[in-house]
Amino acid sequence: MLLIILAIWFGFKKAKATGRNPYLWAAISAGVFIGAQLAVGFGFGIFSAFAQEIWGWSDQKLATYNSLLVIPALLASGIALFLLFRYLDKVPQVHLDNGPPPPPNFSEIDRES
């Protein structure tokens, strides 16, 4: 729980420092943190179902490995947040569009020649 609060806080802080919408990026940071953990959980679930069907592993044997799932899930969340925070560290470029250049100014000397 503490890690997701930190992810939201740092996402808010980094977005505000670079001129982005801090509330939106705080929500995106939370979503990335939770989504990475869910992706690892779904991947482990698919692998365990595959192992049960193909190799005949028992349900009880795989239940003991659920506690080991926390470490890869936290690593995946940390890597995803690292990539997101690297993106937030880049200051967005501001394109100044001043329109077309002013028309040329012809002086009297240019008209005589």
Domain boundaries, the chain: 2-91
| pTM for the predicted model, two decimal places | 0.75
pLDDT in tens, the chain (113 residues): 899 999 999 999 999 999 999 999 999 999 999 999 999 999 988 988 888 889 888 877 767 777 788 999 999 999 999 999 999 998 888 777 777 877 877 776 656 65
Closest CA to 88 of 32, 27, 36, 16: 16
Cα distances from 77 to residues 4, 32, 38, 54, 71, in angstroms, run: 10, 7, 9, 30, 10
